[in-house]
Amino acid sequence: MKKNGRPEQNELVVCKITNINPNSAFAKLIEYEDLTGMIHVSEVANRWVRNIREFLKENQYVVCKIMRIDGNHISLSAKRVSPDQAIRRMNEYKREVKAEKLLEMFSKNSNINFDTIEEEVIFPLQESFGSLSKAFDIAFKNEELFRKRSDLSKKWADAIIDLIKKNYSEKIYTLKSELKLVSYSPDGVDVIKKALVKAKKNGFDVKYISAPKYIISKSGKNFKDIHSVLLSESERIVKDIQKGGGDASFDIENKARK
């Protein structure tokens, strides 16, 4: 997956380590044509580096920040990229590769030269939306907005929208909350059952694991909304059990299943 033009200072770029020396490492900027940068030993990690190979390996993919561009010399930094930034940037790259592979498949199936698609579709969409994957997301969610912003001919806009509709599907997230519910009252079983039945009526899936463990789960298209309602329902169940003289706690998983 190649970007048109050249990178800018402070841009986060996906690199592939090609060569490691005692005081530096060289990396190919895989999103740009024939560009290589250097990571000085002082820019490898946020602590003293005795041996660069403790942190970097040949053929490793790493996200770097562009520090300086002087002609064909590009200075890179790995230590100035936070773990969260690296994860987000690498995920963006993977989505971009996936989007381009979809166009490669379209190229083969329609017998259209891929160079033509690059010039007439990929580069214009990257210019208009910032990335191919973002353009595809908008084409899937808002066809009218895509047509307005894409700057593509009607023929290409129609073809891309048709391609996206056939190959994209909305993400459905599922979050789970594991509850530990104990009631010491004579009707403790009924207290727990009542709290969980209410959760079911509120639209949550309820599953019994083994006493005192239970799981409630919720699915939907918006991760934050799901997390919010799951948190609220879990807190409601805990309060109901505690009001009945019992002990209760919950733990919402950190990752969502798609």
Instruction: Give me 111's structure tokens.
Output: 């017998």
Q: How confident is the model at residue 1 (pLDDT cuts 50, 70, 90)?
A: low
Q: Please check whether residues 112 and 157 belong to one and the same domain.
A: yes
Domain boundary residue, one of 167, 196, 229:
167
72 lies in a domain? yes
- Domains: count for the chain: 3
Name the residue range of residue 95's domain: 84-167
Residue 141, in any domain of the structure: yes
In tens, the pLDDT along 112-140 reads 999 999 999 999 999 999 899 999 999 99
Query: Residue 62, Cα to own-chain centre: how many angstroms?
Result: 16
**d(C-alpha 235, C-alpha 220), whole Å:** 20
What's residue 223's pLDDT? 86
Residue 257 within any structural domain of the chain: no
Between CA 107 and CA 101 the distance in angstroms is: 10
* Residue finishing a domain among 123, 141, 167: 167
Q: Are residues 20 and 47 in the same domain?
A: yes
**Domain-terminating residue out of 110, 136, 167:** 167
Q: Is 65:77 a contact under the CB 8 Å cutoff?
A: yes
pLDDT reported for residue 33: 84
Does residue 102 lie within any of the structural domains? yes
CB 1 within 8 A of CB 93: yes
Decide if 35 is inside a domain: yes
Rounded to whole angstroms, what are the CA distances from 188 to 1, 201, 251? 60, 20, 22
Is position 38 within any domain? yes
pLDDT at 5 over 80: no
The CATH code of the domain that includes 151 is: 1.10.150.190
Distance from C-alpha of 225 to C-alpha of 215, rounded to nearest angstrom:
18
Structure confidence by residue, pLDDT tens digits, 72-105: 899 999 999 999 999 999 999 999 999 999 999 9
CATH number at residue 188: 3.30.70.1130
pLDDT one-digit tens code per residue, 182-240: 988 888 889 999 999 999 999 999 999 988 999 999 998 788 899 999 999 999 999 99
Q: Tell whether 90 and 74 lie within a shared domain.
A: no
Q: Is residue 245's pLDDT more than 90?
A: no
Comparison of pLDDT for 250 and 4, the residue scoring more: 250
Q: Is 138 buried (19+), middle (13-18) or exposed (0-12) by CB count in 10 A?
A: buried
Q: Are residues 158 and 199 in the same domain?
A: no
Q: What percent of the chain has pLDDT over 70?
A: 97
Residue 3 lies in a domain: no
Asked if residue 7 is part of any domain, the answer here is no
Are residues 184 and 218 located together in one domain of the fold? yes
pLDDT of 170 strictly over 80: no
Question: For the whole model, what pTM was predicted?
Answer: 0.61
